[in-house]
Structure 1
Amino acid sequence: MPERPTLLLVHGAWHGSWCWNPLRTLLEAGGWRVDTVDLPSVAPQDAPRHGMHDDAQAIRDAVNGPTAVIAHSYAGIPATQAATPEVRHLIYVAAFVPDVGDSLLNMVGGTAPPWWRTEEDVVHALTPETVFFNDVDDPPTDRLLPQSRKAFTDELTEAAWRTTPSTYVLCAKDNAIPPPAQEAMSRRATTTERLDAGHSPFLSCPQELAAIIENAVSLPRRPSPASG
């Protein structure tokens, strides 16, 4: 790319932009402009509930000029829905890579995993210390918030990976999205990188993840094939 894009970091379900702090510090030290967005589907128990399309709009609103979107986990879904012509590259970090008509719930087989607890219109993550943070020294479990169930059932109407170059970062020790599922989804990306990490490499190995991101957005990439 002739100019460095802004790096937009988009957190996954139950998280907030706080989770990117170690990675953001490294990227900014390397001269990158870094922005984050807080998805409205993650909110306290008594807050209004927003869906995936609200999250996609929040991502669109955060894009200002040439941008590379780095999406973690659930965020791969609204990021795929949201990508605009200004998005030059998508980086999926242990993330879902959906197609048109997909929702997170149908991508996990239509049945909630055993570590979800659904309570009316929200979903709570059980045992996050082992599901999300199995290789993190000081797991920030107390910072997680309820997740809107609607975000997991809303379906895609756009699939940006079909036209936007992309990189998939596969995490081999992930307890949230099994590596074989990541392998299958990574075939939709232009290229695949691998980390020997759990579900949260931005906390467990931010230096390695920063290097992958910097390399991915600095190199010219062929368009992603429009295939399933």
Structure 2
Amino acid sequence: MATFVLIHGAGDVGWYWHLVEAELRGRGHETIAPDLPCDDDAAGLPEYADAVVRAIGDRTEGLVVVGQSLGGFTAPIVCHRVPAELLVLVAPMIPAPGEAVTDYWAATGYDHETTGDTIDVFYQDVPSALAAEAVERGKPQSEARLGEPSPLTKWPDVPTRVIICRDDRIFPPPYLRRVARERLGITPDELDGGHTPALSRPRELAALLESYVTG
């Protein structure tokens, strides 16, 4: 049995993972999906990592840390502070050590323009009622401290996997394939669908996550 530590992205809450949690728990695993203080101007990446570490508590075995989108900045910091066995990044931002979130776009050569409202961009393939609930539950993302250098000093010595989504309107697959290769030397695994597979394809995402720990 693994314990999946599920870290949400910008302006979101742990609820984002609830369907994946149900799938993983049904397969005999434990899950943790904390809310990050992303709407707090006083909180930055260190405080995001603090929230995750508090939620993990005294668990020390079978930890799989999973970061979605902006959660890709928090997840490797957490892996320096807990005995993680695996790090998984989903539709992610993949940070370099010491990099500020606000510097990421230029540093990775991001030149893609996204158009449309929140549902069109983030939840294009999520059932309409579920997408509306996701928007309602979301929190405003504070940018007050996103210009600070990440406390990450080096990539954690933890096996790392990257999952990208073939229809992602925010991080197009060619872009993420290149960044994963350049920054981690990794060829990503791929799922159909848009930027939020935990809501649009929870069963497929859970099965892929489980496959990483079952071999």
Give the TM-score category using the shorter length: 0.7 to 0.9
One-letter amino acid of the structure 2 residue matched with residue 65 of structure 1: T
One-letter amino acid of the structure 1 residue matched with residue 167 of structure 2: K
Question: Contact (CA 8 Å) 2:41, 2:145: kept in 1 or not?
Answer: no
Question: Contact (CA 8 Å) 2:177, 2:187: kept in 1 or not?
Answer: no
Q: CA deviation at 1:193?
A: 1.1
1:105 pairs with 2:105: no
The farther-off stretch of 102-111 and 142-151 is 102-111
The farther-off stretch of 202-211 and 76-85 is 76-85
Equivalent of residue 21 in structure 1, options 18, 23, 29 = 18
CA distance in 1, matches of 2:160, 2:209: 11
Question: Contact (CA 8 Å) 1:168, 1:191: kept in 2 or not?
Answer: yes
Q: CA deviation at 1:218?
A: 2.4
Q: Which residues in structure 2 correspond to 1:68-217 (within 5 Å)? A: 68-83=64-79, 84-109=81-106, 127-138=117-128, 139=131, 140-158=134-152, 161-187=155-181, 188=184, 192-217=188-213
Q: What SS class does the counterpart of residue 168 from structure 1 fall into?
A: strand
TM-score by length of 1: 0.80
- Residue of structure 2 in register with 1:226 after alignment: none
Bigger proportion of residues as strand: 1
Q: What SS class does the counterpart of residue 210 from structure 1 fall into?
A: helix
One-letter amino acid of the structure 2 residue matched with residue 62 of structure 1: A
Bigger proportion of residues as helix: 2
RMSD, aligned CA:
2.4
- Residue of structure 2 in register with 1:7 after alignment: 4
Q: Deviations over 1:90-128 (max 9, x none)?
A: 110101111112122111128998779xxxxxxxxx821
Aligned length: 203
Unaligned runs of 5+ in 1: 117-125, 220-228
One-letter amino acid of the structure 1 residue matched with residue 165 of structure 2: C
Q: Deviations over 1:168-215 (max 9, x none)?
A: 001111112222221123221656210111000001111110111001
CA distance in 2, matches of 1:150, 1:194: 33
Unaligned runs of 5+ in 2: none
CA distance in 2, matches of 1:73, 1:108: 13
Identity %: 28
TM-score by length of 2: 0.85
CA distance in 2, matches of 1:215, 1:132: 26
Change (3 A) 1:162 1:87: closer
- Residue of structure 2 in register with 1:65 after alignment: 60
CA distance in 1, matches of 2:30, 2:11: 25
